[in-house]
Structure 1
Amino acid sequence: MNPLLTTGLDAHRGFTALSVNLNKVALLRNTRALGIPSVTRAAVVALEAGAQGITVHPRPDERHIRAHDVHALAELLTQWPQAEYNIEGNPLHNLMDFVRAVRPHQCTFVPDAADQATSDHGWLFPQDGERLKPLVDEARSLGVRVSLFMDPTPQAMRAVRELGADRVELYTETYARAHGTPEQASVLAGFTATAEAALHEGLGLNAGHDLNRDNLTDFLIAVPGVQEVSIGHALIADALERGLSETVRDYLRCIHRAFAHP
Structure 2
Amino acid sequence: MIELKGISKSFFSGYFSKKNHMAISDVSLCIKKGETIGLVGESGCGKSTLGRIAIRLIEPSAGKIWFDGVNLTELSKPALRLIRPRMQMVFQDPDTVLDPRMTIGKSVAEPLWIWKGGVRHEDTDLIFETLETVGLHSDLISRYPYELSGGQKQRAALARALILDPEFIVADELSSALDLSIQAQILTLLKDIQKKRNLTLLFISHDLQVIRHMTDRVAVMKQGTIVEERRTSELFRSPEHQYTKQLINAAYLSKTSFRD
Question: What band does the TM-score fall into relative to the shorter chain?
Answer: 0.3 to 0.5
Who wins on radius of gyration, i.e. which is larger? Answer: 2
Give the alignment's TM-score, normalised by structure 2: 0.42
